[in-house]
Amino acid sequence: MDLQYSAFFLSDTSFGESILTSPPLSWLLLLGALTAFPSMSIDMYLPSLPAIAATFATDSAAVQYTLASFFVGLALGQAVYGPLADHYGRKPPLYAGLALYVIASIGCTLASNIVMLAVLRFMQAVGGCAGVVIARAVVRDRFDARTSAKIYSLLMLVMGLAPILAPLIGGWILMLAGWRAIFGVLALFGFVTLILSWRHLPETRPTDAPSDIGIGSAMRVYGALLRDRPFIGYTLSGGFALGGMFAYITGSPHVFIELYGVPAESYGWLFGLNALGLIASSQYNRRLLTRHSADTILRRANRATVLLGLVLLTVVASGWGGLPMLLIPLFGYIASIGFTGPNAMACALAKQGHRAGSASALVGTLQFTIATITSLLVGLLNNDSSLPMVAVIAGCGVLAYATHRALVGDGTFE
């Protein structure tokens, strides 16, 4: 370990102590790589879906199961790593998860039918979500709520850049080497991240973390977390806001291309514009945190989310303004997640020092479950209009505000 890392990590990991306000850039890049596994694994292979269908002589609906199985793996897998990370430390479960990800990715390159590919995608998700859980827990191990929110804002760059860059990279790989090579690149990404984590990510598990392990112990920890009103309030608030974005991701191709006649080749520009809004807001959030608490920013952002969602719903329901008037409040809603996501995460984990791994896992499981449900709702409510998508987005905005208001209240969280 180099001296920069030694100075950063070789100190007490007790709750509430912000060791260093400017962590090493290389450390942040590594955490960014760990949080990138879901985005990379989803967005990079999207351009290959038609090619996969052609290879296995199946239809697009069957290929969609490879995406659905990945979502299920993400939701379920995160719950496993939390108790393991609190008992064994942050690094052993991370090693196991990344190793599984590499093996499953290699398996995807060799899949002989669509069912095998769907199963391997599930395993890939279970392995890759270890990076997300451990990265959040490591940040919580080292920082208080305000500084954690700043770091989570930096990590939001991954969420914003992935929808722009990953499909482009996947498209180039598909054109040059075929869809199986995409999973080969993902396997290489997992292997390199595993080596870098082994070399440069020290153990940060607090000394007061739970020492017992087992299903009963894990259920007791999760039960205590589910009874923690502020924890659940912050988790659901961030989860419902994120659910609105997943409703947009699911419904926007149909709405933009089929309903409003946006050329397919121009869809990526609209998608990328909203992603840039998310990036900009998450980075401005870092500046706001120098003057305001994470909870204060979250409360204000939740009000904006409600307003933007209702404006969006009103515009579509009235039919006024067409696509341009739909895009303005939609851009604002997606941008607001740059404020709600990092601050909700930081506040949810702030007082979970001795069980940060389990708390991080439960946050991910609950939020991704909400996101999956909102995506399904958009499809189930589809009536060949944009109303189902915007109604789900508006509903998510209202629920994000309501859950924070009901379970956390107006008290400022420092």
Query: 343-364: per-residue pLDDT in tens?
Result: 898 888 887 767 767 787 788 8
Structure tokens belonging to residue 296: 């204060």
Which of residues 87 and 177 earns the better pLDDT score?
Answer: 177
In-domain check, residue 272: yes
Work out how many domains the chain is built from and give that number. 1
CATH number of the domain bearing residue 157 = 1.20.1250.20
In which residue are the tokens 């305001």 written?
Answer: 292
Q: Among the ranges 53-57, 207-211, 220-224, which has the highest mean pLDDT value? A: 53-57
Residues with Cβ within 8 Å of residue 317, at least 6 apart in sequence: 387
Query: 110-125: per-residue pLDDT in tens?
Result: 998 999 999 999 999 9
In-domain check, residue 34: yes
Q: How far apart are CA 325 and CA 332, in angstroms?
A: 12
In-domain check, residue 192: yes
Amino acid identity, residue 11? Answer: S
pLDDT at 16: 39
Which of residues 41 and 142 earns the better pLDDT score?
Answer: 41
Q: What percent of the chain is modeled with pLDDT above 90? A: 27
In which residue are the tokens 């879901």 written?
Answer: 38
- Is 50 exceeded by the pLDDT of residue 4? no
Task: pLDDT band for 188, please (50, 70, 90 cuts).
Answer: very high
In-domain check, residue 370: yes
Q: Among the ranges 155-169, 259-273, 369-383, which has the highest mean pLDDT value? A: 369-383
In-domain check, residue 9: no
Which of residues 53 and 193 earns the better pLDDT score?
Answer: 193
Residue-number span of the structural domain to which 311 is assigned: 24-407
In-domain check, residue 8: no
Q: How far is CA 269 from CA 165, 166, 275, 316, in A?
A: 12, 14, 10, 21
Structure tokens belonging to residue 148: 């954690």
Q: How far apart are CA 145 and CA 139, in angstroms?
A: 10
Q: What percent of the chain is modeled with pLDDT above 70? A: 85
In-domain check, residue 403: yes
Task: pLDDT band for 342, please (50, 70, 90 cuts).
Answer: confident
pLDDT at 19: 43
Model pTM score? 0.75
In-domain check, residue 5: no
Name the nearest CA neighbour of 393 among 328, 312, 332, 299: 312
Phi, psi of 2 (to 5 degrees): -80, 170
